[in-house]
Chains A and B, each alone.
Chain A
């Protein structure tokens, strides 16, 4: 024992060279978290609104190094931590997305928290922590860092879901999310331990190198467990049962955050693990993901059709959209790896804008109507035409109608399927095409209320949209329109050679 210690001590300790610039976004967030925490301690209750502003600045501050990194280097910075934590274009695009989503959610939360009389400082701390987890997720290339990032982004989210602590439904939301989330983490961790046990490494590239040829039964089980674990995070059917209750019970900005950022982070983790670690196990996860995608989009859609509450409807619609995002991943071993990766990244980027926008409209309208029913949108066009038009843009985008945002994402997903060109891919494409129509049915139902129904109770007093929410609406609507008409802007990100190069394609 003592000899071991002395031999360790005898080695000269060399400080690892740390690329400070590469991890600057994370550092800014860490500093910001502490700052918010401390300032909140000494801040008078009447000045708590400042926390939102500060949090917004932290997000923007973390965004700056992301931009500088993107501008400076197309060289992959993987020197940090032995290639287990990589900052490449792929990571940067997604970090940018998470920070932007975080910023928009802060804008949306501000009035909601102020008016609801909730704890504000703590909320923003938790949100920053969650965003930090997401930002880390984009760079993680090791089972451990993937898992740590996943927990870092999930645990604060459990608490945020239960933020309306006097509302039983919000408590239900938090508890349900927590229990199922922890269960999923357990399943995931179990699968990861099998992967480590059978390949001898936690580094994803090494797992990928070891996981080729015929898989042992244990490895098959590991792959299934890992996919199932992520299935909870991305609320894929049949692991979606927490989503509607959690989405409905949680405060609306938190729901927006969960359905966009948290889900995107789950997909990022799945992408990284699939492409780096499990690409040799396509025979196992290909059919598995095929089934998951088909079920997810179909069942999510069919249940969404029956919803009368708009948040629940969006919850199920987001389940179904998850199926569309998932669908190209079923064919990464069939020659569609590159187009599938591109499709998923594009989808996540554009979906964020449209879905956040829809929630921002809901927040504005619900401030006056105080209702979550779809019928409460009746006659919106007649007394709040601006919100009506915005809702039209977001709903039509979610339905995939050109030239609004998501059409290009859907196109990319279909494209990846047809690129794979197998019979299974064509079948899935037709299933997806039918689902597009079903989805249009419920998105149009909202628009039917907005345009064609009379206002409930004849109440047509104008709606006052708070300034931050208006800004959030502006950002999301601008993004939805711009990316729909000139998709080249964002497609370029996904086409950078490094994006695919990072995964060795």
Chain B
């Protein structure tokens, strides 16, 4: 793999900068809540600034090559290096993680979860950002594994401390599922390492040497990685942690989980499992495709059965990630491009939906669909944003969601490398039916919550005397989108439209890298 070694500092700084904020906050007492929030915003803004600089310095004409490449010694004894780099596949996700963390920080200014205590909350979010960004730049299996795991504890605490009523159960479930996946994944990584001659953990080396491993061995190793990544995605039948975690997590946690964390799994498939084990990938592709389509239908049916708005959005994630995995399982350039696009689009759209759900919860103190109605009358702007995000989520052409789903379905028409055409065309038809179901559950959700007259229990005069600090809030009770929310949300909304109208913006960056990847996979399949 070709590499470019310009601006070698930029990725390390961009990844580890949040730790500076964490260190700073360690020495400030927790009672100074405003200062902590300010440090959080400033740190994540600085990180985002480095991210923007990365975008500017990125050579878009050579996005198939690893740029800002660094390869320095780390744990020489086990031949693991600090190897980092960025190409067209990882750039959008790397940047997305920075942007989302920054916007979530801004949102936190006004919307601290009920448990309070912003100091540890913001510190955890910053550590989380290090893990997420690091996973996308790592070009060494052990380094990737470390970053992948760094994400685990902060998210566990975010759900467990600041989450809803069932938070302890949900957080433990999240933790144990992921831990189980990553333990098997680690065994698979080590097996791959030894099968390729125990020379190096670097992606480039393993992608070359992995293809030479026996087909049967590849299938076994792929199985280990499959479980690790499939839990994270999550794919049916490993998805059961997701509805609980999403529903119980605080808004910030849900947004980050949906926008970035789930992508670590799909990214792992694209970046690690498939290029390193081409024959294993080919053998497993039909299984992935079938499970993905089951996920699409199952997720959609799950959505139809939900009575809680946030849980519904969580189940819709299962369905959306099904489309992404279907695209990946075709092993075509077209499908993988669609999947990568779908990852970013889903991050933006579902992240936005979770923001809206968080704000609805904040105002009504409930997310029960039955009790909500007439959002458009009580909060016209929030109602419209919900409608907009729901349309984007169901894949309306002209918005970002469309470019993730439609090409993914289309790619199944003609799978690569002699995968069974009959099977994939069947999958295609079923997946297409899934989009109809998606329209059904999203429109039904919208109809029930936004249309009609507001529920009388929320229109009655608010509490006579608002108690304590929140007094002011209680007087206005149901208020429309606040300025802070506008600041945090506008970039999401703009991006959804922008990528919907002009998807080339992202496809152009990804395509050369994806082409190179698929070529490499093809070379490994006899």
* Cβ 8 A contact of A437, one of B78, B152, B183, B190: B183
Cβ–Cβ contact B78 & A396, under 8 A: no
Residue A21 at the B interface, CB < 8 A? no
Q: How far is the CA of A419 from the CA of B79 in the complex (A)?
A: 14
Size class of A's contact patch? 35 or more
Q: How far is the CA of A437 from the CA of B186 in the complex (A)?
A: 13
A411 within 8 A of B: yes
Q: B194 to A440, Cβ gap below 8 A?
A: no
Q: How far is the CB of A290 from chain B (nearest CB, A)?
A: 17
Q: Name A's interface SS.
A: helix
Closest partner residue, chain B, to A429 (CB atom): B187
A44, chain B: closest CB distance, angstroms: 42
Is B23 interfacial (CB 8 A cutoff)? no
Q: How many whole Å from A483's CB to the nearest CB in chain B?
A: 11
Cα A223 to Cα B494 with chains together (Å): 72
A392: B residues at CB distance < 8 A: 153
Q: Mark A462-503, 1 if CB is under 8 A from B, else 0.
A: 000000000000000000000000111001101100000000
Are the C-beta atoms of B160 and A418 separated by less than 8 Å?
no
Our pick among A415, A434, A436 for the contact of B190 (Cβ within 8 Å) is A415
Q: Which 3 A-B pairs have the closest CB atoms?
A: A433-B183, A491-B77, A402-B146
Verify A437–B179 contact, CB threshold 8 A. Answer: yes
In this assembly, does B176 line the interface, its C-beta being within 8 Å of a C-beta of chain A? yes
B147-162 CB mask vs A (1 if < 8 Å, else 0) is: 0011011001100110
A-B contacts, 8 listed (Cβ < 8 Å): A396-B153, A403-B150, A407-B146, A414-B190, A415-B78, A418-B194, A433-B183, A436-B179
The residue that B176 contacts in the complex, of A419, A440, A448, A494, with Cβ under 8 A, is A440
Q: Does B145 contact A (CB under 8 A)?
A: yes
A440:B184 contact, CB within 8 angstroms: no
Beta-carbon contact of A488 and B156 below 8 Å: no
Measured between alpha carbons, how far is A403 from B175 in the docked complex, in Å? 16
Given A403-B146, A418-B194: A451 touches B161 (CB 8 Å cut-off) = yes
How many whole Å from A410's CB to the nearest CB in chain B?
Answer: 8
Size category, B interface: 35 or more
Q: Are B186 and A414 in contact (CB under 8 A)?
A: yes
| Cβ contact of A434, chosen from B76, B152, B171, B180, cutoff 8 A | B180
A487 near B75: Cβ-Cβ < 8 Å: yes
* Nearest opposing residue in chain A for B198, CB measure: A419
Residue B120 lies at the interface, judged by CB distance under 8 Å to chain A: yes
Chain A residues positioned under 8 Å from B150 (CB to CB): 402-403
Q: Is B167 an interface residue (CB 8 A)?
A: yes
Taking beta carbons and an 8 Å cutoff, which residues of A are in contact with B?
A: 342, 381-382, 385, 392, 396, 399, 401-403, 407-408, 411-412, 414-415, 418-419, 421, 426, 429-430, 433-434, 436-437, 440-441, 444, 447-448, 451-452, 486-488, 491-492, 494-495
Q: Is B74 in the interface zone, CB < 8 Å from A? A: yes
* Contact residues in A for B142 (Cβ distance below 8 Å): 411
B191 contacts A by Cβ under 8 Å: yes
How far, in angstroms, from A333 to B34 measured CA to CA in the complex?
61
- CA–CA, A408 and B77, complex, Å: 11
Contact, CB under 8 Å: A444 / B172: yes
Is B190 touching A488 in the complex (CB atoms < 8 A)? Answer: no
Set of chain A residues within 8 Å of B161, measured between Cβ atoms: 451-452
Which residue from B117, B176, B194 sits with its C-beta under 8 Å from A441? Answer: B176
Q: Write the residues of chain B forming the contact surface with A, with a CB cutoff of 8 angstroms.
A: 30, 73-78, 117, 120, 142, 145-146, 149-150, 152-153, 156-157, 160-161, 167-168, 171-172, 175-176, 179-180, 183-184, 186-187, 190-191, 193-194, 198
Highest count of chain A CB atoms <10 Å: which of B156, B167, B186, B190: B186
B280 to chain A, nearest CB (A): 16
- Report which of B145, B167, B175 forms a contact with A402, defined as CB distance below 8 A: B145
Residues on A with beta carbons closer than 8 Å to the beta carbon of B117: 382
A433 touches B184 (CB 8 A): yes
CA A342 to CA B75, docked complex, whole Å? 14
Contact A451 B145 (CB under 8 A): no
* A403-B150, A491-B77 known; A411 vs B172 contact (CB < 8 Å): no
Contact of A444 among B78, B156, B180, B193 (CB under 8 A): B156
Of A392, A434, A444, the most chain B CB neighbours within 10 A belong to A444
Whether A452 pairs with B74 at a CB distance below 8 angstroms is: no
Could you list 12 further interchain pairs (A-B, Cβ under 8 angstroms) beyond the known A487-B77, A491-B78?
A402-B149, A403-B150, A411-B142, A414-B186, A437-B176, A437-B183, A448-B172, A451-B161, A452-B161, A452-B168, A486-B74, A488-B76
Contacts A419-B194, A437-B183 hold; do A401 and B172 have CB atoms under 8 A apart? no
Q: Hey, which chain B residues are within 8 Å of A447, CB to CB?
A: 157
Q: Does A414 lie within 8 Å of B187, measured CB to CB?
A: yes
Check if A451 sits within 8 Å of B160, measured CB to CB: yes
Task: Name the distance in Å between B311's Cβ and chain A's nearest Cβ.
Answer: 22
Given A437-B183, A491-B77, is A418 in contact with B172 using a C-beta cutoff of 8 Å? no
Q: Complex: how many Å from CA A437 to CA B173?
A: 11
Q: A451 — which chain B residues lie within 8 A by C-beta?
A: 157, 160-161
**Residues of chain B contacted by A488 (CB below 8 angstroms):** 73-77
Q: What residue in chain A is nearest B194 (Cβ atoms)?
A: A418
Collect the chain A residues with CB atoms within 8 Å of residue B120's CB. 381, 385
Instruction: Give the CA-CA distance A92 to B187 in the complex, in Å.
Output: 32
**CB closest residue in chain B, given A453:** B168
CB proximity of B345 to chain A, nearest CB, Å: 31
**Considering the chains assembled together, what is the distance between the CA atoms of A403 and B143 in angstroms?**
10
When the two chains form the complex, which single residue of B152, B175, B187 contacts A430, counting CB atoms closer than 8 Å?
Answer: B187
Residue of A nearest to B119 (CB): A385
A367 to B171, CA, bound (A): 30
Q: A492, B183: Cβ atoms under 8 Å? A: no
Q: How far in angstroms is the closest Cβ of chain A from B70?
A: 17
B30 contacts across to A, CB distance below 8 A: 385
Given A415-B190, A452-B160: A436 in contact with B183 (beta carbons within 8 A):
yes
By the criterion CB–CB under 8 Å, are B180 and A418 in contact? no
Docked pose: A487 CA to B156 CA in angstroms: 25
Give chain A residues whose Cβ lies under 8 Å from the Cβ of B74. 486, 488
Pick the contact of B152 from A401, A408, A433, A495 — CB < 8 Å? A401
Contact: A401 with B149, CB < 8 Å? yes
Please, which residues of chain A bring their CB within 8 A of the CB of B167?
452
Query: Which residues in B have their C-beta under 8 angstroms from that of A382?
Result: 117
Task: Tell me whether A448 and B160 are in contact in the complex, defined as CB-CB below 8 angstroms, given that A434-B180, A437-B180, A437-B183 are known contacts.
Answer: yes
Give CA–CA (A414, B168) in the complex, Å: 31
**Which residues of chain B are near A381, meaning CB under 8 Å?**
120
Complex contacts, A444 vs chain B, CB 8 Å: 156, 172, 175-176
**Minimum Cβ distance to chain A for residue B36 (Å):** 13
Chain B residues in 8 Å Cβ range of A401: 149, 152-153
Q: How far is the CB of B130 from chain A (nearest CB, A)?
A: 10
Smallest CB separation, A241 vs chain B (Å): 28
